[in-house]
Structure 1
């Protein structure tokens, strides 16, 4: 299994470290525009292997030299501003970056599954689906996987139950138009109520990413762990159900869009979409999210040549 990480900033480097500790591949390639940084990570991770149960081949390379990968994890991004208040601020420059990189990566890695981490992730997952030539099942946006994990973690503190024993999703946009799926949320088959306390927890989840960002200037640990869960599902063909951003041709009358719903992930990427029951409040939240995300897609990409 050959995995290439495209972008070796805080997130890419942390994902590489987590992959090495978990032993999730045989061959790891670190590729970035800063070749010296990628080479430094290569050497550091090679030294780390002495403390790991499984060894692997680790190398650094220019992005254009990455080829024949099974999984491409795309984290490359323009630099974050010191006072960013919305992931959409990264949109125009990152869309232009994707227009340069994704077609070449697709040509050189025709059998790969793409995992998109770069923000704004829903818009860029849509763009990657359009310009890669890959089937939509091979393009996976990390979406609300971290948001859902944060939700479960905070609920677990309140309910005093391990987060892995909670079934609670946040769907929609990885951003302001996300919403909690309370109608099917449960712990040991006991329903998790939609009440003021749990809404307060959801509000904390919505702000959590920026809380971390404002405290240290970036987020890296949770997103790295989330990326590894997606990689594990692909590597072991485990058919895990995860809330991820995926292209939707048509669902509930929502067409040609990209946002997070529960999907089943295996060796071929997204094996199938799941369609959970939505109550009236959740249906309205989904429709609002879809409308806003599509408006963002159209606004950001309308000037991109060849994308219609």
Structure 2
């Protein structure tokens, strides 16, 4: 299993470290526009192997030289400027970057499953699907997986229940227009109510990433761990359910769009789109997020207002 991480900034390096610790492959490639940084990270990770359970080949590469990967993890990104208030601030720069970077990557790695971390993730997952000409099941964005994880952690403090025992999803945009699915939220078969306190917790989640970013200049630990959950599901064919950003022709009446929906993930990528029964509040939120994401796709990719 060969995993190549494209982009060796704070996020890419942390994902690489987590992949090594968890032993998720036998061949790891770190590739970036800063090849010297990629070389340094690869060498540093190589030195950790005597403390790890699984040996692996770890090497660095220029992006254009990455070949024959089983999984491509894309974290490369244009730089943000100062305090960021919206992931859309990265939109124009990252669309330009992806249009240049993705065609040779796809050509050199034709069998790869592509996992996109860069933001705005919904727009970039849509764009990559367009560029690649591959089944959409093989191209997924990390989307609201990390938001859902943050939600479970904050809810667990309120409910006094381990976060892994809470079944709660946030769907839609990885951004301010995401929405919680309380109608299908449970702990031990007991419903998690849609009440003011839980709504307050959800509002905390929508800004949690920016709280971290503005405090230390980036986010890395939670997103790296979430990414490894996706990689683990692919590598071990786990058939895990999770909310991920994926292009779909139709889902819950929404057509030709790309945002986080609940899916099943295994060795071939996204195996199945799940179809939860949404209540009217959630259907309204779904229509809103779908409209706004499509507007961003049209503006950033197709240059339509």
Would you call these one fold, judging by a TM-score over 0.5?
yes
Taking the aligned partners of 2:244 and 2:54, their CA distance within structure 1 comes to 29
Cα deviation, residue 47, structure 1: 0.5
Tell me the distance in 2 between the aligned counterparts of 1:276 and 1:157: 26
Alpha-carbon distance in 1 for matches of 2:303, 2:160? 50
The CA deviation string for residues 229-281 of structure 1, in whole angstroms up to 9 with x for no partner, is: 00000000010001000111012321110000110000000001001110000
Q: Equivalent residue for 1:190?
A: 190
Runs of 4+ displaced beyond 3 Å: none
**Match runs of 1:56-75 below 5 Å:** 56-75=56-75
SS in 2 for 1:110: coil
Provide the C-alpha distance between the structure 2 equivalents of 1:250 and 1:153, rounded to a whole number of angstroms.
31
User: Is 2:89 the partner of 1:86?
Assistant: no
Secondary structure of 2:28's match? Answer: strand
Q: Does the 8 Å CA contact 1:106/1:133 hold for their aligned counterparts?
A: no
Q: For residue 289 of structure 2, give the secondary structure of its aligned residue in structure 1.
A: helix
2:208 match: 208
Contact kept in structure 2, 1:106 and 1:134, CA below 8 Å: no
The alignment's TM-score, normalised by the length of structure 1, stands at 0.98
Task: After TM superposition, give the deviation of residue 53 of structure 1 in Å.
Answer: 0.9
Q: Which moved more, 1:248-257 or 1:38-47?
A: 248-257
Where structure 2 has 5 or more consecutive residues not aligned to the other structure, the ranges are none
> How many Å apart are 1:134 and its aligned residue?
1.2
Q: How does 1:206-245 map to 2 (within 5 A)?
A: 206-245=206-245
Which whole-Å CA distance do the structure 2 matches of 1:10 and 1:259 have between them?
Answer: 24
User: In structure 2, the residue corresponding to 1:50 is in which secondary structure?
Assistant: helix
CA contact under 8 A between 2:252 and 2:275: conserved in structure 1?
no
Structure 2: distance between partners of 1:252 and 1:191: 23
Could you say what secondary structure the match of 2:265 adopts? Answer: strand
Matched position secondary structure for 1:20: helix
Which stretch shifts more, 83-92 or 186-195?
Answer: 83-92
TM-score, structure 2 normalization: 0.99
